[in-house]
A and B are shown apart, each in its own frame.
Chain A
């Protein structure tokens, strides 16, 4: 009777490939996973754009200030998307895992994990976009306070980025200074 333990069968099937092929395919999956983080900036910037349109419709005279704040906030909200892009590009063009010596399975899982970790970027993306939207709305109401509003918005957005930065740290550790291989 054939074994029905599919996990075991899957692992056996995986081990029938060359280590290099395994690591490269895992990097491909990881790079794809990393880009899921793009959901966050997308939602956030969309919110900011919506708030911008709303603010201009209420107070057309402040269109210039409002648009400026909207673009500034949206550009900051883009950060987690860019960090995810960087991790994906490192895996595609400068993959440090290929030359590593060690259990192929661990290196492979690290590649996927490095990509998965970047998904955390959804949070900062949405949050920063929300802040950008609120900032835009506030400037639409009181264009004269633009510089104060922008300053507070930027500092708040920088703090909202923190979890995304931690995700980047873990991702870079998995890629460049993997502690699991030496265990």
Chain B
């Protein structure tokens, strides 16, 4: 197993550009979300029932979360918050279905965290004005300017690497575990059927994919809300 043993595989090439597994799985997730959104909003009725009721619950939950963390006046951020939550959540748990999570690629997570960073700076400038925004860097004393700038730049880096580190840790440990279990069934039991791989990893899948995955998507979304609303105050 070399360096690329843990990295995303290249699915195919368009000209000279390598399209990795990350991109194709992201397309798949986008397709799933699109089909789901269209399917549940096509025949909307006043009296919600069935699937529409479930979706209304989800939307209400996201609206509530946004209201609680960003205040009533910033409810316009709810669509972005909901998209982040759904996209990262599904990306993280898609490992359960045998795909490689797109969030186990630094390109994806840094992209998302840079989006948050740009939003933070933009809305900071918009609500405080350019002068007020610049003055924020000189507080509490002007001497701290370099530290404030480094602190501001460190936020997106830690945000992106937090998600990447946690998901990649799960991917690497699960890959090694499946390899080790395969070797055990081969040499110890002398079986060609993957017997041990069938049940043993389930507990670790629950921890790394379900628990850590959902938790990290929640944390990313929460921190995004905290950063943006913090910059606006």
Query: Using a CB–CB distance below 8 Å, which chain A residues touch chain B?
Result: 75-76, 79, 82-83, 85-86, 89-90, 93-94, 96, 99, 151, 154-155, 158-159, 161-162, 165-166, 168-169, 176
Q: List 13 A-B contacts (CB under 8 A).
A: A83-B165, A86-B165, A90-B6, A94-B5, A94-B6, A94-B172, A154-B218, A155-B222, A161-B162, A162-B158, A165-B162, A169-B161, A176-B3
Min CB gap A112→B, angstroms: 19
Indicate if the CB atoms of B219 and A155 lie closer than 8 Å.
Answer: yes
B135-189 residues at the A interface, CB under 8 angstroms: 154, 157-158, 161-162, 165-166, 168-169, 172-173, 176
Indicate if the CB atoms of B172 and A151 lie closer than 8 Å.
Answer: no
Query: Using a CB–CB distance below 8 Å, which chain B residues touch chain A?
Result: 1-3, 5-6, 154, 157-158, 161-162, 165-166, 168-169, 172-173, 176, 207, 211, 215, 218-219, 222-223, 226
Given contacts A90-B6, A94-B2, contact A165 B219 (CB under 8 A): no
Indicate if the CB atoms of A75 and B223 lie closer than 8 Å.
Answer: no
Given contacts A93-B1, A94-B6, A155-B226, contact A82 B158 (CB under 8 A): no
Q: Which residues of A contact B3 (CB under 8 A)?
A: 94, 96, 99, 176
Cα–Cα distance between A155 and B227 once the two chains are bound (Å): 12
Indicate if the CB atoms of A89 and B172 lie closer than 8 Å.
Answer: yes
Cα–Cα distance between A92 and B47 once the two chains are bound (Å): 59
Cα–Cα distance between A169 and B162 once the two chains are bound (Å): 10
Cα–Cα distance between A172 and B3 once the two chains are bound (Å): 11
Other than the given A89-B176, A93-B176, A99-B3, 13 more pairs (CB < 8 A) read A76-B215, A82-B166, A86-B165, A86-B172, A90-B172, A94-B1, A94-B3, A94-B5, A158-B222, A158-B223, A161-B158, A168-B165, A169-B157
Indicate if the CB atoms of B173 and A154 lie closer than 8 Å.
Answer: no
List the 5 closest pairs (A to B, CB-CB), nearest first.
Answer: A96-B3, A158-B219, A86-B169, A162-B158, A94-B1
B162's nearest neighbour on chain A, judged by CB, is A165
Min CB gap A111→B, angstroms: 14
Cα–Cα distance between A86 and B158 once the two chains are bound (Å): 18
Min CB gap B43→A, angstroms: 33
Min CB gap B137→A, angstroms: 20
Q: Which residues of A contact B168 (CB under 8 A)?
A: 86
Q: Which residues of B contact A99 (CB under 8 A)?
A: 2-3
Min CB gap B209→A, angstroms: 13
Min CB gap B63→A, angstroms: 16
Min CB gap B136→A, angstroms: 19
Q: Which residues of A contact B162 (CB under 8 A)?
A: 158, 161-162, 165
Cα–Cα distance between A151 and B64 once the two chains are bound (Å): 13
Cα–Cα distance between A82 and B170 once the two chains are bound (Å): 9
Cα–Cα distance between A130 and B219 once the two chains are bound (Å): 18
From B207, B211, B223, give the contact of A155 (CB < 8 A). Answer: B223
B170's nearest neighbour on chain A, judged by CB, is A82
Cα–Cα distance between A166 and B215 once the two chains are bound (Å): 20
Interface centre among B1, B5, B165, B172 (most CB of A within 10 A): B165
